[in-house]
Amino acid sequence: MVTYKVMEGIKKYRFGEPISTDAVLFEGDKIKDESLPFFILQYVDTFEIKYKMDNGDQIFGLGENQRGINKRGGVFESYCCDDAFHIPDKKSLYGAHNFLIVNGINKFGVFIDYPGRVVFDVGFTHKDYLEIKIDDKDLDIYIIKGSTLREITNKFLQLIGKSYVPPKWAFGFQQCRWSYKDAKEVEAVAENFIKHDIPCDSIYLDIDYMEDFKDFTISKERFPNLKSFAEKMKNKGFRLIPIIDAGVKIEKGYDIYEEGIDKGYFCIDKDGNPFVAAVWPGKVHFPDFLNKDARKWFGSKYKLLTDLGIEGFWNDMNEPAIFYTDRGLKEAINFVEDSKDQNLNIYSFFKLKDSFMELSNNTKDYKSFYHNMDGKLINHDKVHNLYGYNMTRAAAEGFKEIEANKRFLIFSRASYIGMHRYGGIWTGDNHSWWEHILLNIKMMPSLNMCGFLYSGADTAGFQGDANSQLAIRWTQFSLFTPLFRNHSTMGVRKQEPYAFDIESTQVLRNTIKLRYALLPYIYGEYMKAARRNDVYFAPLLFEYDDRYSKHVENQLLVGESLMIAPIYEENAQGRYVWIPEEMLLWKVKSYNERSFKVMDEGHHFIEVGIDETPIFIRKNKMLIIGNHANNVADIDNSEINIIAFIDDEATYTYYDDDGISYEFNNGIYWEVIIGIKKIDDDYEINIENKGNNLVKRINFDIVDLYGNITKKTVVISE
């Protein structure tokens, strides 16, 4: 073991010769130190960490996973997996996020930088032990020390580098479906949004826009002129966001296939031939995203679409998902043939069934192909979790070549720690289940702790039929998630915000308009988190250390001013909320209406009608509210409103920038620093306007602890 001091409070313990994952940005200096906070068991080929947890210890983090914000009690396996049935005992979803924080008398963060299989047994097998099993003995372990959860998180986020920042329009509402299959249907969706007066910034193109599911091709029949169509749609206010899949179809004459073969850019099997798996297009090869040159090549292909006016993409199937391989299929078919005319008992019958069930995403297949990493052949299984990461990196690096100072929208299904620098993620194929709203709520802070700020779930659920109530309640939560997209699979009930009944459309319209009105806050808080290595969503205990806040799993802090308590149960007329200090409750029906209630510290049942989104403004904090428009770019926020809940004084920094470029990195952004101070029965307002902000007028609703409202208006001179 070699120890490095990487940064203040962060040590790296290196075992063997780990493969570089590029998760962490700093090397660090060697030091003499063997003070690991846990036991290490090294076996011949594997490695295990054991940590004795105190009764009260909680475990946070682990990103995209099932179960609680506190992960204690579960087993989680980092091995990116295309599993479309997210039930509580599933151990792997699409991401591999090996960072956790132990919160007890001892507080520290652990990041296991190993890109193959890692199992986190968080007191499942042995209730008092955190046991981390690694499939290898070459790895880096980072230990992050700090006195609070936020401090540990901030340090970890500093270690792995600044978050990806999407264009501002990507904070608008987005509509997806597998599939709006041709230009006519896409246009009809757009017309529906316009007709129903529901804001929306983009419409997605799922796999059917391609010719035979071939990456970077466009169906001539369904989208005869994508360039002019994209332009027309943009003029109506909608950007088109095509999907890109990991597998490249094997087809003579298809240029991407031919080039990949020519240049040796595909993953290979043990005999050195391009590895064959089957996904959407049938048989495909997998681009070797771990090979720099292949990455560059694939990344440059996005230009074929950006040249047509496309400004955003989603990268799918990049775990990589495998439907079947020849090996698996052959074994299964042999088994079927052997079973023919047999009297199958329960065991042989199950084995027969399983032989097909186990065709997809089989570890045997993952073990049977190789990457070329800087000239070294590496078995895929060892670096499995880097695949989607590097596909998305390929895209991001491609965009840099295409137009370095322009922000593109890009997010991925599979991911590993560090990918957050290149793009966002969505949380894959959930269901239209109430349980999945709650899962979504719990996952968001965990994802943020692992760096993934631009993230969100398929709102209203991907699989299964949504009723209007579920779509509404889910949208009332998702309106706070940076990626705010409604998506569903083929064959299920339509769930666009106008797809139900007039009343529900009205509620969804108001809910989506609320999102647009909150953009100054949501976007500003996102940017602050991204620039300060912070989270946007946090569990309550990041700010409150009382005995209840520690255990709250169904309320979140959003940015610095808000707490939310979403409704995630069918037919609920309200819910219980833990309020850790006085807060101002605003049940929003429509963002232009104001009605507040001061809530005292304690447990409360709050009534929440189906048309209401409850928002809690924290004490001595402010919420900025702008205006809505049908697109982000059309919003006029020269006049904004602030709701402030003031005991004595508060300061808030309203951040904004051009929303399209990276100039904010060069100090080009706007800040309005707003101070409110209570003096006797009045308030003193102080405004410092930095940069060339467009805000001309701010209307204040200042509410005190007794609920008295003072209205003020400040006009900002140039």
Least distance to ligand MIG, CB of residue 489, Å = 6
d(CA 399, CA 392): 11
- Give the nearer residue to ligand MIG in terms of CB position, either 206 or 365: 206
Nearer to ligand MIG, 394 or 492 (CB): 492
C-beta of 204: minimal distance to ligand MIG in Å?
8
Burial 313-343 (b: 16+ CB within 10 A, else e): bbbbbbbbbbbbbebbeebbeeeeeeeeeee
Measured distance CA(365)–CA(129) in Å, rounded: 33
Tokens describing residue 226 = 């994508």
CA 210 to chain centre: 25
Yes or no: say if 283 and 277 are a contact pair by the CB < 8 Å rule. yes
Minimum CB distance to ligand MIG, residue 239 (Å): 18
* Alpha carbon distances (Å) from 165 to 199, 201, 257, 454, 456: 22, 17, 32, 8, 14
Give me the least distance between CB of 241 and ligand MIG, in Å please: 12
Residues 223 and 183 sit within 8 Å (Cβ to Cβ) = yes
Q: Residue 21 or residue 427: which is nearer to ligand MIG going by CB?
A: 427
Q: Residue 190: name the closest of 230, 236, 225, 222 by CA.
A: 236
Q: Are strands 95-96 and 649-656 parallel, antiparallel or unpaired?
A: unpaired
Question: What is the amino acid identity at position 142?
Answer: Y
Q: How far apart are CA 250 and CA 447, in angstroms?
A: 36
In the complex, least distance from residue 322 CB atom to ligand MIG, rounded to whole angstroms: 11
Give the nearest distance from C-beta 192 to ligand MIG in angstroms: 20
- For the CB of residue 354, give the shortest distance to ligand MIG in the complex, in Å: 21
Closest-CB residue for ligand MIG?
178
Kindly state the smallest distance separating residue 94's Cβ from ligand MIG, in Å: 8
Taking the least distance from each CB to ligand MIG, the nearer of 316 and 612 is 316
Which of residues 267 and 322 has its CB atom nearest to ligand MIG in the complex? 322
For the record, the structure tokens of 297 come out as: 């090549």
Cα(448)–Cα(536) distance, integer angstroms: 7
Which residue ranges make up the site for ligand MIG (CB under 6 A)? 178, 206-207, 243, 316-317, 413, 428-429, 487
Smallest separation, CB 466 to ligand MIG (Å)? 15
Question: How far is Cα 141 from Cα 6, in angstroms, rounded to an integer?
Answer: 12
Closest CA to 53 of 128, 119, 132, 145: 128
Residue 649 Cβ, how far from ligand MIG at the closest point, in Å? 47
Q: Is 128 exposed, middle or buried (0-12, 13-18, 19+ CB in 10 A)?
A: exposed
Q: State whether the Cα torsion 397-401-402-404 is positive or negative.
A: positive
Of 439 and 642, CB closest to ligand MIG: 439
Least distance to ligand MIG from the beta carbon of 432, Å? Answer: 14
How near is the Cβ of 457 to ligand MIG at its closest, in Å?
11
CA-CA distance, 455 to 409, in Å (whole number)? Answer: 12
Residue 255's φ and ψ, nearest 5 degrees, are -60, -40
In the complex, what is the shortest distance from the CB of residue 179 to ligand MIG, in angstroms, rounded to a whole number?
A: 7
Residue 563 near residue 577 (C-beta atoms within 8 A): no
| Token reading at 513 | 């308009």
CA distances to 122, 560, 561 from 602, rounded to whole Å, are: 31, 21, 19
Residue 521: enclosing H or E segment and its boundaries?
A: helix 519-531
Q: Report d(CA 558, CA 234) in Å as an integer.
A: 31
Neighbours of 351 (CB within 10 A): 14
Judge whether 65 and 93 are in contact, CB under 8 Å. yes
**Ordered DSSP codes for 129-161:** EEEEEES-S-EEEEEEE-SSHHHHHHHHHHHH-
The CB-of-315 to ligand MIG minimum distance in angstroms stands at 10
108 vs 178, beta carbon nearer ligand MIG: 178
